[in-house]
Amino acid sequence: MRAKVIKSLLVLLFFCSLSYAAVPDVTYQEDTNLITIKGELTPNGYGYNLSANKILRLVTLNWPPYIDESMCNFGWVYQLTVTILVKNDYGVLIEFYPWARAIREAELGKADILFPEYFIADFELSDNVVNTTRNQLLALSEAIPGGDLSLITLKDSNIKYNGSIQSIRDLVIGIIRSYKNTIELDQRIASNEIASIVVNNEFQLANLLINKRADLIVADLNSLLGNIKKSHLPEQQKQIINSSLVALEPSLDYKFLHYSVSRQKPNWQKVLNSINEEITKMSDSGMLEMFIKQKKSECHNKKTTL
């Protein structure tokens, strides 16, 4: 009965329509000055510093709690991204797409930057360009903080997991299309050593568990819960779903985030160097940690706009 209730709630969650907030301003500290960059709505997304000589097109996805159009200020990754590029005198156009579409835009050189991205191994092939690795098409930036990637299941599943992929080799695992998990897990799935079901988003992942089509799903639990949190469902119903999911320990990996710069664009090395230098400078000075903490605290007591 509980599973049926959760299933019905997830169906409602998937189809509920969201009305997004106004374009957020981006504010950051420059020496002793507080700089605010006004955002503006563009035909396909959001723009900043559009009078700049060089305007970059960025593609991303809704992925709470890192970045999402329904979140306060669109999330700390959004705020950090605009800050890094505007500080280096770039104009910024940000567009949200399903992840596979966002990857395609960057790998084919239609967008300058794809973000936020997990580490890409050298052997990983592109789904968009034949006989070409993703790293031949994209260049990864220095890392910024991310989160744990975990195996998630229902609390009453009684799965025996000891931290080894071998211990869950006979189970069916749900994964998201075009997401990169861990090298070992992705290789075992690709070689059919582990059975998998591929879906398009976190909602469908959760449905795999509720419908018992998969024994486990691979996700960042904070992101999974973030998608539930932003829904129109009453708090009590959200709690039913939240309390049914558990991340197995230990996690598969801690996944840092990166910017992927398209190698197809002129002057891509200059763009990558600008991003890397800013990340390094902010990290070494402690400003990156402070920036993330501040952006989270700004929204801590605000209700998510839907």
Strand spans (E) along 131-252: 138-140, 144-154, 173-176, 196-199, 216-219, 245-247
pLDDT of residue 19: 43
Whether residues 189 and 206 fall in one domain: yes
Whether residues 122 and 261 fall in one domain: yes
For 59, residues 6+ apart whose C-beta sits below 8 A from its C-beta are 94, 95, 96, 97, 101, 102, 105, 106, 111, 113, 114, 115
pLDDT of residue 202: 85
Q: DSSP character for 237?
A: H
For residues 118, 209, 246, 244, the Cα torsion angle rounded to the nearest 10 degrees is 140
* Beta strands at 196-199 and 26-30: parallel, antiparallel or unpaired: unpaired
234 inside domain: yes
77 inside domain: yes
Whether residues 201 and 167 fall in one domain: yes
The range of the structural domain enclosing residue 45 comes to 18-146+257-300
130 inside domain: yes
pLDDT of residue 12: 53
How does pLDDT run across 28-47, given as a tens digit for each residue? 988 889 999 999 999 999 99
Whether residues 138 and 23 fall in one domain: yes
pLDDT of residue 8: 57
59 inside domain: yes
Number of domains in the chain: 2
306 inside domain: no
pLDDT of residue 59: 98
CATH number of domain containing 190: 3.40.190.10
Q: What are phi and psi of 165, to 5 degrees?
A: -60, -30
Whether residues 25 and 130 fall in one domain: yes
201 inside domain: yes
Type of residue numbered 153? T
The predicted model scores a pTM of: 0.88
305 inside domain: no
Whether residues 163 and 232 fall in one domain: yes
For 247, residues 6+ apart whose C-beta sits below 8 A from its C-beta are 148, 150, 151, 152, 221
Whether residues 125 and 187 fall in one domain: no
Whether residues 240 and 153 fall in one domain: yes
pLDDT of residue 4: 59
Whether residues 113 and 190 fall in one domain: no
Q: How many C-beta atoms surround the C-beta of residue 207 within 10 A?
A: 21
Whether residues 83 and 207 fall in one domain: no
pLDDT of residue 18: 41
Q: Can you give the length of the chain in residues?
A: 306
Whether residues 132 and 35 fall in one domain: yes
Spans in the chain with pLDDT lower than 50: 15-20, 304-306
Whether residues 32 and 132 fall in one domain: yes
261 inside domain: yes
